[in-house]
Amino acid sequence: MSPLLPGATLGVLGGGQLGRMFVHAAQRMGYFTAVLDPEADSPAGRISHHFVQADYLDIDGLARLAGLSGAITTEFENVPAQALDNLAVARRVAPAAQAVAIAQDRIAEKAHFKRCGVVCAPYAVIGTETDLAAVSAALLPGILKTARLGYDGKGQRRVSDRAELAAAWAELGEVACVLEKLLPLAFECSVIVARGQDGQVVHFPPQRNTHRDGILAVTEAYAQNMPSAQAQRAVEAAKSIAEGLDYVGVLCVEFFVLDNGVLVVNEMAPRPHNSGHWTQDGCDVSQFELQVRTLAGLPLTPPRQHSPTVMLNLLGDLWFAPREAAQAIGAEPASQPAAADTPAEPPWEAVLALPGAHLHLYGKAEARRGRKMGHLNITGADREVVRATARHAAALLGLPLELSS
């Protein structure tokens, strides 16, 4: 298939922040963009050349998107696979519906990991009372996760015994779930790969991730963030997972590293991922540019990390955070500490005075607790400089920050 060159229009299903950063990358390269989202106002819809307000399964809306676009991707993981199938009749669609459908269902996803020979946490599928009764004691304590529609720690419950397991399954609505054994994690990491239509695969170096309350809080990307043999194993596993899907597009694979050093695959996302946002400032090619290239059928070049980078996720909670920390290190906060329920803009001026601080905000109208509002990438000449700047920025923002030791 011949590539779609700059000047063509690239479409995306979903108008969230991932769509917005895809649109930025596409527009920078001279493409026009079209976004479909159910909401009238969305981070990507606001900045796209074309916008279609429609539900993901609205036939007319999908036809309008297809009419505008030479090729279409998705930023929204839970876009109905049927919508992608429908679009694929008329247009190039990447990733394919079948790959997205597997990533949307933890049961199918784990089966795929097993097929690829990649180790995942011991688990059982729970769909009936009989499955519940048959659960092996070896899986407890465990985490019960809904097979579908979970994200950012939603749709999961930690359970220590059978009684808690039964209660949690009832609480989750008795939908299809997986029970995973609770593993002793040394740390978490992820790998982002991009695979082209010709099967060429490129990857970013693995990043180390810290979650808070089930949501990604910090990503550290520098050579010393994990042993290199482990990093190599994670990259190989991610590539085999992409190849096994005959995947086209950007794929993120999340891993656990256990206390004994064993690498265990957790889950995958069929799109750019929050843990890859650091690539916008730490690499010469970002995950969003690779998404554009895979969709357009352009050549993929291996990304080169030019700077050690730390990414801090900026959640809506920051708009409500007390800012004593800023005073403690001698910088004046740009705004008064917010009353508990009145949002106040974080002290961007002080943060942006730090060399190597790159602010990304998603243009969301309202700050709410737990809502992803933006991220801050911090780059520098070496790991120690980057870590010191990250600590400084976190203190200014009133963010708790734990970096790897």
Minimum distance of ligand ADP from residue 178's CB (angstroms)? 9
Interface pattern 48-87 for ligand ADP (x via CB under 6 A) = ----------------------------------------
For helices 228-244 and 106-115, give the axis angle rounded to 10 degrees: 110
183: contact with ligand ADP by CB under 6 A: yes
**Residue 263: beta bridge partners?**
257
Tell me the backbone φ, ψ of residue 94, rounded to 5 degrees: -145, 135
Alpha carbon 338 to chain centroid distance? Answer: 29
Q: Which is nearer to ligand ADP, 91 or 148 (CB)?
A: 148
Minimum distance of ligand ADP from residue 18's CB (angstroms)? 15
The pair of three-digit structure tokens given for residue 205, joined into one six-digit string:
């170096």
Q: Which is nearer to ligand ADP, 269 or 290 (CB)?
A: 269
DSSP-derived 3-state class of residue 168 = helix
Count the residues of the shown chain that bind ligand ADP, applying the rule CB under 6 A: 17
> 178: closest CA among 100, 126, 137?
126
Greatest pairwise CA separation for the chain in angstroms? 61
Cα angle 114, 118, 123; round to 5 = 55
Binding window for ligand ADP (CB under 6 A); candidates: 86-94, 142-150, 225-233, 305-313? 142-150
206: contact with ligand ADP by CB under 6 A: no
Burial class (CB in 10 A: 0-12, 13-18, 19+), 112: buried
Q: Which of 75, 109, 188, 317 binds ligand ADP (CB under 6 A)?
A: 188
Minimum distance of ligand ADP from residue 151's CB (angstroms)? 5
180: contact with ligand ADP by CB under 6 A: yes
Q: Which of 153, 244, 343, 363 binds ligand ADP (CB under 6 A)?
A: 153
Q: Which is nearer to ligand ADP, 9 or 209 (CB)?
A: 209
166: contact with ligand ADP by CB under 6 A: no
146: contact with ligand ADP by CB under 6 A: no
Q: Which of 150, 297, 308, 356 binds ligand ADP (CB under 6 A)?
A: 150
Minimum distance of ligand ADP from residue 128's CB (angstroms)? 22
Give the CA dihedral 99, 104, 106, 108, nearest 10 degrees: -40
Query: What are 242-246's contacts with CB under 8 Å, separation 24+?
Result: 242/193, 242/195, 242/201, 243/195, 243/199, 243/201, 244/112, 244/115, 244/116, 245/95, 245/98, 245/99, 245/102, 245/112, 246/96, 246/99
- 247-306 residues near ligand ADP, rule: CB under 6 A: 254, 266-267
Minimum distance of ligand ADP from residue 153's CB (angstroms)? 4
End-to-end CA distance of the chain: 48
189: contact with ligand ADP by CB under 6 A: no
The pair of three-digit structure tokens given for residue 110, joined into one six-digit string:
């784990």
- 118-137 residues near ligand ADP, rule: CB under 6 A: 121
Minimum distance of ligand ADP from residue 123's CB (angstroms)? 8
Q: Which is nearer to ligand ADP, 12 or 121 (CB)?
A: 121
Q: Which is nearer to ligand ADP, 105 or 281 (CB)?
A: 105
For helices 287-296 and 17-28, give the axis angle rounded to 10 degrees: 70
Please list, in sequence order, all residues whose beta carbon lies within 8 angstroms of the beta carbon of residue 173, skipping any fewer than 6 positions away. none
Minimum distance of ligand ADP from residue 60's CB (angstroms)? 32
214: contact with ligand ADP by CB under 6 A: yes
The answer to whether the beta carbons of residues 15 and 43 sit under 8 Å apart is yes
CB atoms inside a 10 Å sphere around CB 268: 25
Minimum distance of ligand ADP from residue 287's CB (angstroms)? 17
DSSP-derived 3-state class of residue 122 = coil
Q: Which is nearer to ligand ADP, 60 or 213 (CB)?
A: 213
Give the footprint of ligand ADP on this chain (CB under 6 A): 121, 143, 145, 150-153, 180, 182-183, 185, 188, 211, 214, 254, 266-267
